[in-house]
Structure 1
Amino acid sequence: MQNKWDEKQVRNASLLDQLVYQSKLIGSEEDLVLFGGGNTSIKRHIPDFRDMDVSALTVKGSGSDMQFASPENFSDLRLDDITPLLKRTRMADDEMITYLMHCLLNIEAPRPSIETLLHAFIPSASVVHTHADAILALTNNRLGSQAVLDALEPNTLFVPYKRPGFLNAKEVALLVQKHPDSKGLVLMNHGLLTWADSVQEAYENHIGLVSQAEDYLAWKKKGQTITVIEQIKPLSEQERHEIAHEISPFLRGLVSTNDHFLIQFDDSSKILDFTSMPDAPKISQKGPATPDHMLRTRRLPLWVPLNNGKKLQNTLKTRLDTYAEKYQRWFDKYKDESIAPLDPYPRVVLIPSVGMWTLGTTRTGTERTKKIYHHTVDIMQGAETIDRYKSLNAKDAFEIDHWPLELYKLTLAGPKQELEGRVAFITGAASGIGFAIAQRLAQEGATVAISDLDLSNIEEAATRINNKTGTQNAIGFPLDVTNEVQVKDTVEKLVLITGGIDILVSNAGIAPNAPIHSLDLADWEKSFAVNATGHFLAAREVVRVMQRQNIGGSLIFIGTKNIPAPGHSFGAYSAAKSAEAQLARILALEGGAFGIRSNIVNPDAIFQGSQLWSASLKQQRAETYGIKIDELERYYHERNILKKEITAEDVAETALFLASDRSSKTTGAMFPVDGGVAEAFPR
């Protein structure tokens, strides 16, 4: 591993700035830490609230990501209050956390790392802890301790696995005291600690030991006798994707009994190669590479042998039921009164020759689980070059999987949002009503797949939504809703990314303007192609996915005031949109048996950000009403009963209601968002 320390970057920097720099270097190496894992610290003198100099431990806050480290991610604790704890014989986890919170110099600082005592008890000024892949490959096999001795320099220490906390920290501290010349320690099945009196040296010690482990693994691999073993041959990409498109919604429905999950499909070469190994079914069921990974991957993946057609679905369901039953037995064996069960479902599903599915309630979550399991594969295969892969025993794994201090990290993302875990597919979403709806649903936690004709416009829209929400919830797809093949392909791509669809907002539309006697047939047909057939194609593909999921869904059709009250010279538009309304009603009838709701939203005169209201359309409508073009918007506002301007955001609020469970008993309805237009009243 490359030493990336650049003295120019930290010349004349404070100790805290050096710590931040060190943390960013470590966090940028996925082979060292992933997504909030690991921790770093320094010991320094700083003023307290009385402006009196105190000895402090500055340590990374729990769950913060070192890759994006900033001074605000670290907590300062009074070291003189912590070091006396070394004299104690025991300390419960909740007592430890409460004690450490009282040691904070700033009560608004983040909660200190659960391994704060580990950092405090080591006397050196700078301490680094990671879950380096190469170190885990050394430890996670039957010859782990011997491999550590063989691979790393002689003064490197190691301790058997013990869950992080007071006892683990004390054991490490006492061992370091006995070996004052040591500069690194391996936590078996957990990771690596290094220390020094300077931030740079602690980092370089760490990189040095990891490099030694990498070199040792490369040497072991090079020296192996290659045995030719017949591997399972992966299916073709087309076959894999066909299976994934069928299986993903089915799997998503099975696991989304309480919370909705997203499911990401991965058929990368790494996963295909691993699942094609004859012993992969056995290796994959031995457990996680490190306790830190269990937060995302759970203890074991679900392994499903490949069968054909409906038989694969039956096998998947049987295996998933068995997985849940095994979890319950595992929980019952090791539980105590203070521990509540987690959901019984895996976060990783493996099917040989096809690929891997990772589960989460957000796109970020599924992507993180995918990356972690890629590293798990590397670690397992590295360990196998030494001896048989070995993980935590069932009891140790249970304690970490249900450990409140580890589960706390999941709460840092904030409370669960209303649409978290839901997937919305929105057409015509680069601007206007479609964009406003997409942004509103994303703000409530939905993953939004937005589509429009122009790729650059839809990518820009997705970026704006992601920047606004601080997430990666928006995905852009170029799409012509009148093209049957494009619609089908787009839905299939979305299913591979998210596992399914919960919400359709069928919004794409055009507004040709001409009286019937002068209307060209081409304009009439184009209006029906976009304003009727486009809704049919999108709805048909989405309903097919929803039926395979079997967890219901919401179809939201963006109609118009012109459905109940058509406008002069809007014949092609009004007639086609009326067909859309009938489609929505029929889908309400047909979807009920599957829990699929279908409703219509009828806006009127949404000018803000709309591509529908082109300059020519505005001119034509102004001429129809005998007014000037700059009077048109005011004319529409004044004609509604409430005399209100109707915005895209107003429509988005109605769409949010229909997308959410708040409207779970509403289907086949028409919702006007028009300020009250009397001629559009239902009658």
Structure 2
Amino acid sequence: MKLLSNAPNTGAKLWQKGPIFGGKKLDSLDEAGRKKQAIALAPILRGFCSSKQNMIGHFTDDARVLEFINSNDLDRLAPLGTSCPDHFLRTKISPLVLDLGKDEDLSDVEALKTRLAPAFDAYRAMYTEYYNTCKHDNSPAIRDANPVVILYPGVGMFTFAKDKQTARVAAEFYINAINVMKGSGAISEYTSLPRQKAFNIEYWLLEEAKLQRMPKPKALSGRVALVTGSAGGIGKAIAKKFAEEGACVVLNDMNAERPEGAGEEFKKLFGKDAYTNAILDVTKADQIDSAVAEAILAFGGVDLIVNNAGLSISKTIADHTEKDWDLLYDVLVKGQFMVTQAASNVMKKQDIGGDIINIVSKNALVSGPNNAGYGSAKAAQLHLSRLNAAELGADKIRVNVVNPDAVISDSNIWAGGWAEGRAKAYGITVAELPAYYAKRTLLNEVILPVDIANACFAFAGGLLGKSTGNVLNVDGGVAAAFVR
């Protein structure tokens, strides 16, 4: 890696002669190639930048960025740092440039981490030396020494910060810094701030006072959540709860129109930086990969998965078809497995742990009529969760289960034939189902989507950070479903 902060700290001057930034040194990959490399690399970079706290990422391959990072003068200009206080307050004193070929094979994750680690160690050491050399007796304590801006020649720029908005704005400020370098070099000379002056601004006591007045991070700040089937019903309630608690969320559904509609609602509630959209059918591996890739490109990775997508079919054994059976197992069991597989691969790249929460059902534990396919698939989901918890614990990835029952409000399941099937099985009408389900519980309560969302937050919010392989029933109290 090239550590761009080891240049002389005297505010050196560069005269630009000839082509912009000394001319082109290399060509960029095409757009698809740039995205492919960014998707492969971003989770690893996010892991390194999250050594103190979870960071959210932003990637851009803006033409102005590519012109700069592909130039002959990159190694001379970037070490000088920025000339404007507003710039480096957002971007740190200088970026880190990756010494990676634009078309390198990035598939060997452990080898890549081994190769990158010395560069991050060196950057942190440089920043610590910068602080120790320039600090005053009353200077605030040193802040996070990880880089904010990371440049990958031929591919693009990554920025990492406490939330998406801050990461995005950091990228915008560094593009402004690039514009200053380009403009000043074209007409005269580029002069950076001397390190001591830069430090005096970065660690200005009034700046520190402003930082101290900022609201404390929410429980899920710095975390990226993908809740399958999150454009409506239980899934949207979970995604909304996570966004309220500071997470960035990936809204998704099989139907392309539903995530867009949910996105408009989330934009009004939480702003444009809180979410992104994806089309996701959990039975299709390519759509799972695309949704995870969307999370990476939008936020740098993913570390909170809720396997919520589902359907229900209530039929007698005689009426159940092979198609019914295959559909239930493809969506509920195989879908949960494939999403967990794809997401845990990213979590391992990041090496900062994670949460996988599986929305199962009371029916995984309780036997009932007209329920052979759905109930057995739910039981398979429950045990698959235990198996995944046992395997992923070494990577600090927690796998837990929430078991709802009879969540009728705003549920696609109840909009189909499930309600009629259950009503028939119990000898009542569909209209009588909510009261029937409530009365059979110990608490005599109707279960709502927000109740399931709160249970998911209980697992993911930090208080149960040492808990995995557990089952939390949210059913109003069904004694036959007690796990122990």
Please give the TM-score of this superposition, normalised by the length of structure 2: 0.92
Q: Equivalent residue for 1:638?
A: 439
Q: 1:438 aligns with which of 205, 227, 239?
A: 239
Q: Quick one: which amino acid aligns to residue 592 of structure 1?
A: G
Q: Which moved more, 1:442-451 or 1:463-472?
A: 463-472
State how far apart, in whole Å, the 2-side matches of 1:479 and 1:229 are: 43
Q: Quick one: which amino acid aligns to residue 456 of structure 2?
A: A
Unaligned runs of 5+ in 1: 1-139, 145-220
Q: Does 2:113 match 1:319?
A: no
Q: Equivalent residue for 1:375?
A: 176
Q: 1:294 aligns with which of 88, 99, 105?
A: 88
Q: Quick one: which amino acid aligns to residue 439 of structure 1?
A: K
Deviation at 1:350, TM superposition (A): 0.4
Q: Equivalent residue for 1:528?
A: 329
Alpha-carbon contact 1:428-1:508 (below 8 Å) kept: yes
State how far apart, in whole Å, the 1-side matches of 2:66 and 2:400 are: 42
Q: Does 2:281 match 1:480?
A: yes
State how far apart, in whole Å, the 1-side matches of 2:211 and 2:255 are: 38
Q: Percent identity?
A: 34
Alpha-carbon contact 2:34-2:155 (below 8 Å) kept: yes
State how far apart, in whole Å, the 1-side matches of 2:384 and 2:130 are: 50
Over the residues paired in the alignment, what is the CA RMSD in angstroms?
2.1
Deviation at 1:387, TM superposition (A): 3.5
Deviation at 1:519, TM superposition (A): 0.7
Q: Which moved more, 1:619-628 or 1:457-466?
A: 457-466
Runs of 4+ in 1 over 3 A off after TM superposition: 140-144, 224-230, 236-239, 307-315, 407-413
Alpha-carbon contact 2:276-2:298 (below 8 Å) kept: no
Deviation at 1:263, TM superposition (A): 1.3
Change over 3 Å in CA distance of 1:315–1:381 after alignment to 2: farther
Q: Equivalent residue for 2:3?
A: none
Q: What does 1:113-192 align with in structure 2 at a 5 Å threshold? A: 142=13
Q: Quick one: which amino acid aligns to residue 92 of structure 2?
A: R
Q: 1:251 aligns with which of 34, 45, 55?
A: 45
Alpha-carbon contact 1:304-1:315 (below 8 Å) kept: no
Q: Quick one: which amino acid aligns to residue 351 of structure 1?
A: Y
Q: Quick one: which amino acid aligns to residue 119 of structure 2?
A: R
Q: Equivalent residue for 1:346?
A: 147
Alpha-carbon contact 1:141-1:384 (below 8 Å) kept: no
* Partner SS, residue 243 of structure 1: helix
Q: What does 1:551-590 align with in structure 2 at a 5 Å threshold? A: 551-590=352-391
State how far apart, in whole Å, the 2-side matches of 1:634 and 1:582 are: 31
Alpha-carbon contact 2:303-2:354 (below 8 Å) kept: yes
Q: Which has the higher contact order (CA 8 A, sep 6+)?
A: 2
Change over 3 Å in CA distance of 1:277–1:230 after alignment to 2: closer
Q: 1:405 aligns with which of 185, 191, 206?
A: 206
Alpha-carbon contact 2:13-2:192 (below 8 Å) kept: no
Q: Equivalent residue for 1:212?
A: none
Alpha-carbon contact 1:306-1:312 (below 8 Å) kept: no
Unaligned runs of 5+ in 2: 1-10
Deviation at 1:413, TM superposition (A): 5.0
- Note the alpha carbon deviations across 1:237-274, whole angstroms, 9 max, x for none: 34333322222111111121221001112222221221
State how far apart, in whole Å, the 2-side matches of 1:585 and 1:628 are: 37
Deviation at 1:409, TM superposition (A): 4.4
Q: Quick one: which amino acid aligns to residue 320 of structure 1?
A: F
Deviation at 1:407, TM superposition (A): 4.0
- Note the alpha carbon deviations across 1:99-145, whole angstroms, 9 max, x for none: xxxxxxxxxxxxxxxxxxxxxxxxxxxxxxxxxxxxxxxxx99599x
Q: Does 2:411 match 1:610?
A: yes
Q: 2:67 aligns with which of 251, 254, 273?
A: 273
Deviation at 1:433, TM superposition (A): 1.1
Please give the TM-score of this superposition, normalised by the length of structure 1: 0.66
Change over 3 Å in CA distance of 1:441–1:295 after alignment to 2: same
Deviation at 1:462, TM superposition (A): 2.5
Q: Does 2:397 match 1:596?
A: yes
* Partner SS, residue 284 of structure 1: helix
Change over 3 Å in CA distance of 1:230–1:463 after alignment to 2: closer
Q: 2:31 aligns with which of 229, 237, 241?
A: 237
Q: Quick one: which amino acid aligns to residue 334 of structure 1?
A: C
Q: Equivalent residue for 2:133?
A: 333
* Partner SS, residue 661 of structure 1: coil
Alpha-carbon contact 2:248-2:274 (below 8 Å) kept: yes
Deviation at 1:338, TM superposition (A): 2.2
State how far apart, in whole Å, the 2-side matches of 1:400 and 1:365 are: 19
State how far apart, in whole Å, the 1-side matches of 2:14 and 2:402 are: 65
Q: Equivalent residue for 1:129?
A: none
* Partner SS, residue 318 of structure 2: helix
Q: What does 1:87-102 align with in structure 2 at a 5 Å threshold? A: none
